[in-house]
Every structure is written in structure tokens, then in C-alpha cells.
Amino acid sequence: MKRLASAAVLLPLLILFILKSPPVWFDILIAVVAAIGLDEFYRMTLPERRSEGWSAAVVGALALFTIPFADGMLSLFALTAAVLGFSLVGLFRLKDIAQAASESAFIFMGFLYVPLLLAHLILLRVEPHGVAWIFLMMVIVMSGDSAAYYVGSSFGRTKLYPAVSPKKSVEGSLGGLAGSVIGALVFRALFFAELTIVDAVAVALLCGVLGQLGDLFESLIKRSCGVKDSGTLIPGHGGILDRLDSILFAAPAVFYYAYFVFAG
């Protein structure tokens, strides 16, 4: 329910920004979101290494911003430089050798989890019908969240994965998938006529499943780190990662479907 409340506040501004802003401003937005999300990730996983965590968040966001330039080679260079640089940081700023491997692994995991996955939103934006694809993904995730909440609250009996998320149920998960499919079909009928019904259902199921898994994965990280929310950026609703967990997993799926499968 928290996700729905925060979405109701931020969604109109986000829609206007995606529709009206030039691609470079969209890239900047995603880079800023990545920096905040990375900082939250490192606050959870490396609370004692704040200087390294903050620096890695900035570097990860800058690497993400380079995607539109030099046919991707600049991004490859930036990511390579980040990996080499923070490997040396781990080597020469050693504090506890017993923790050195896990600390370095968390730094690199952050690069993969946030900037790498969010990069697909930037790539998707410049695809044919890119804006429509982004809105379709948002509708699939949000309608799935809504349906999962109400179906789970009303009919949830069978626990889905209690060790990670005790409140989620199998019934809610199935209801969420149904909601994702309905949302995709409605969006296709109103705004995305180039999409076939088969495409809409396929993307809804793919995006719906991965979105739910992304939600569970972020819950796993928070439980492992012993925190309730990823951050406090949105009072009463947690942090950026709490709002992006489904999008992080769904965005690559939508991009690769649009790039490799869609022929509209």
C-alpha cells in the first residue's frame, strides 16, 4: 500500500517528465536516481565504509550517464575504470582483512544491481516507441502491485516466501500477474496500437514475474542487512530502492523484448 501512495504523488510528475523532456534530461534523471539508489544500497551493505560507498554511488551514476555517448564504449571504459579503481581502494585501504572480500563484492554488486539494470531504461527510451514501452512497463508493474495487494489481502492463505517476505501470498502473486495482464491489454488498446495482443500478454507475464522477483530480491537484501526500509528519502514510504525494486528487474526484460522480439 505504501508503494501505491507514493506512486500517486510522484506519477503525474514522472509522466510529464518522460513525455516532454529531451532524452538528455531523462538520462540525467536516471543517473540521479541511480546515485541515490546506490547510496542507499551501500548504506545497508557497507555502513562502516561510508566514504567508499558515497564515492562508488557517484562513480556508478556517472558511468550510467555515459551510455548515450561514443556508442557505448565510453560506458564500458567508465565501468572498467570503476572496477579497477575500487579494487585498488580495497587493496590499499585495508581495515579488516577478514571483511575485505565481502566489502569489495558489495561494491561491485552495487554497480551491477543499480546502474546496470537502470541503464536499460535509458536504452529503452531511444528505441522505436520508447516512451510507450516505458509507460507500458510502469502500467504493468503498478497494476500488478495493486492487484497483488488487494487479492492477497482478501484471499491470501498460502505463504509465498515467508523467510524473505512473510506477508506475501501465492494468491496475491497470481492476482498480481492477472492485474499485470489486464493493465497491459488496457494500455495497448488505448495507447499502443502497434503492439499485438500476444506481445502485450507476453510482456505482461515476463515483466510481472520479474517485477515480483525484484521486489523479493530487495526484501532479501534488507532482511540480510537487518533494515526495514532501504532509506528515508520518502517519509513514511522508505527509500528509492523500495520504490524501484520491481522496475530494476522489469526494465531489462522490456528492453530486450522490444529490441529482439518486437517488430512493430
Q: Per residue in 160-182, pLDDT tens? A: 999 999 999 999 999 999 999 99
| Range 186-212 average pLDDT | 96
Percentage of the chain lying above the pLDDT 70 cut: 90
Predicted confidence at residue 1, as pLDDT, reads: 46
2 — pLDDT class (breaks 50, 70, 90): very low
Beta bridge partners of 159: 169
Helices (H), the chain: 2-20, 23-45, 50-65, 73-92, 97-111, 117-125, 130-155, 170-191, 197-225, 240-256
What is the distance, to the nearest Å, from the Cα of residue 136 to the centroid of all Cα atoms in its chain? 15
Which tops the pLDDT comparison, 199 or 232? 199
Phi and psi of 107, rounded to 5°?
-60, -50
Residue 67 CA: distances (Å) to CA of 76, 78, 131, 137: 9, 10, 18, 21
* Per-residue model confidence (pLDDT) at position 4: 45
> What band does 92 get if pLDDT is binned at 50, 70 and 90?
confident
Alpha-carbon torsion, ordered 129, 134, 139, 141, to 10 deg: 140
Phi, psi of 251 (to 5 degrees): -60, -45
40 has a pLDDT exceeding 60: yes
Give the CA distances from residue 125 to residues 194, 233, 246, in Å, rounded to whole numbers and listed in that order: 16, 26, 18
Question: What letter represents residue 260's amino acid?
Answer: F
* Average pLDDT value over all residues in the chain: 88
**CB count in 10 Å sphere of residue 223:** 14
Taking 70 as the threshold, does the pLDDT of residue 236 lie above it? Answer: no
pLDDT score at 232: 67
What is the CB-side half-sphere exposure of residue 206 using CA atoms within 13 A?
Answer: 18
105-110: long-range contacts (C-beta < 8 A, 24 or more apart)?
A: 106/42, 106/45, 106/46, 107/42, 107/46, 107/52, 107/53, 107/56, 108/83, 109/45, 110/38, 110/41, 110/42, 110/45, 110/56, 110/57, 110/60
The residue range of the domain holding 91 is: 2-261
Question: Based on the structure, what is the number of domains in the chain?
Answer: 1
Q: pTM for this structure?
A: 0.89
Top-confidence residue, 9 or 199: 199
* Residue 84's pLDDT band (cuts 50, 70, 90): very high
